[in-house]
Amino acid sequence: MTKIRFGRHFLERLLSDELRRAQLRCLLFPRAHPRLVGIRRNALILSRIHAVAAAFGILTLAWLPIDLIALPMRDGAIFSVLRVAASVGFAFLVLFTRRRQSLGRVYLSLVLLYAIPTVFYFTSLLLLRHSGLGLYARTALEAYWALPAVAMAGLGIFPLTLVESIAFSLPVITGEALAFALHLGVFFPGGIIDALWMMFLMGGIAAVVGLSQLSFSLALVSQSLRDGLTGCYARASISELIELNFKDSLRTGSPCAVAFLDLDRFKEINDLHGHEAGDQVLIEAVRRIGSTLRATDCLGRWGGEEFVVVLPGSTGSEAVQTIQRIRAQGLGRRPGGKAVTVSAGVSERIADQCDDWLSLVRIADQRMYAVKSAGRDRVCGPESFGVISTLSAVSI
C-alpha cells in the first residue's frame, strides 16, 4: 500500500514538474503557446497597439503648436511636416491592427509602432543639431531626450515573452547608443553611461511587467478554453480548432481527420454509482486518450461522455489506427471493474469530400452513431463505413 502511495505521489510530482516546465517555456518562447492561447494573446497585443497608435497619432499633432512657437519659422514648418507624417503613420497602424490576428502581424505592428517614433526622434536630432536655438526653445524641446525611454517603458503594456522583450528592447538601446556615437544626444541631461543605464533599467522593468501580464493572461485564457472537469478543450474551443485546422488543410492540400468518441453505456455508471464515479471515469479516459495523441493533435469534450479528436495531417486510415491504439491501450475501468469501451467515428476532409468543417464533424458523428447501432466498441472510418452500415442495418 505504501509503495502504491509513493508511486502515485511520484507521478503527481512528475506531472507537476512537467507542467511548470511547460509554463516556463510559455513565458520564454512565443512558439511554446498552444494555438488558441497564441491567437488570444495576438488579439490582446494588437488591441493595445491599436489604442497606443491612436493615442500617439493624436498626441503627435497636439504637440505641433509648441514646435511652431518654440522653433524658428523654418524649423517649425519642417517639424510640422514631420508630425503630420508621423500621425499618418500611426493612423495607418490603427487600420493595420484591425485585420487578421497572426503572430507575424503582431511583430510587424510592433516594429511599425516603434519605427515611427524612432525615425521621428533621429530626424529631430539631426535637424536640431545645427539649429541656433534660444534658451526658451531648448527648454521646450528638452522633452525629446525622453522619447527612447518612453518607448522602452511602453513595452511593459504588452504581454510579451522574455525573448520578445529582449528582441524589441535591443534596437531601442542600440539606437540611443548610436545617437550618442554620432553626437546627436544633445538633449539628454547626462552622458551616455547615464542614458544607457536608464534604458537598461527601463527595459528590465518593462520585461518584468510584460511577463507578469503574460503569466496572468495565459492562466485566464487557458482556464476559459478548457473543460472544467476533464481539462481537455471545451466544445467552443475544439470547434474553433477544427475550423482552423480545416482551413489549414484547404490551404496546403494536406489531409485533416476528425474522430468522434462516445464512451459506451456511460449513463449506467451515473445511474448505478453516482455522478462522482462517472466524473472519475471521464477524467481517467481523457488522461489515457491524451497520452496516446501527438503534440499536434487536439482533444475536446463535445458534451457529456462525447469527445472529439482533431488529427491534422492524418489520413482516414491513419486516424483510425490512432483510435485503435487508444482502444488497445484502454480507457480505464468502470466502477464494477469492467473495462471502459468507446464507439468512434472518423471522417477525413479529402476522403469524404467535405466543403466545410461542420460537414467533417457531422460525418464523424454519424459514423459514431452507426457504430453504436451496430453493437458498440468499434471504430468506423471512411473505408469501413459500408461494413458498419451493413452491421447496423442487421442489428436494427
Pairing of strands 342-348, 256-263: antiparallel
Distances (CA, A) of 284 to 153, 174, 227, 238, 384: 47, 53, 14, 19, 29
Q: Is residue 382 a contact partner of residue 348, using CB atoms and an 8 Å limit?
A: yes
Q: What are phi and psi of 380, to 5 degrees?
A: -125, 115
> What's residue 80's pLDDT?
85
> What's residue 149's pLDDT?
74
Q: Is residue 305 a contact partner of residue 328, using CB atoms and an 8 Å limit?
A: no
Mean pLDDT in runs of 10 for the chain (396 residues)?
A: 45 50 85 89 92 90 80 78 90 85 88 86 70 53 65 88 91 76 57 74 89 90 90 95 95 96 94 92 95 93 95 95 94 92 96 94 95 92 61 38
> What's residue 396's pLDDT?
33
Domains of the chain in start order, with CATH, are 23-224 (no CATH), 235-395 (3.30.70.270)
Residue 246 grid coordinates: 480545416
> What's residue 67's pLDDT?
74
Amino acid at the residue 145: W
- Its sign, for the CA torsion 100, 105, 110, 112, is negative
Among 240, 305, 306, 318, the active-site one is: 305
> What's residue 141's pLDDT?
55
Q: What is the CA radius of gyration of the chain?
A: 29
Its pTM stands at 0.78
Measure the CA–CA gap between 389 and 396, rounded to whole angstroms: 10
Catalytic residue status for 383: no
Residue 119 grid coordinates: 525615425
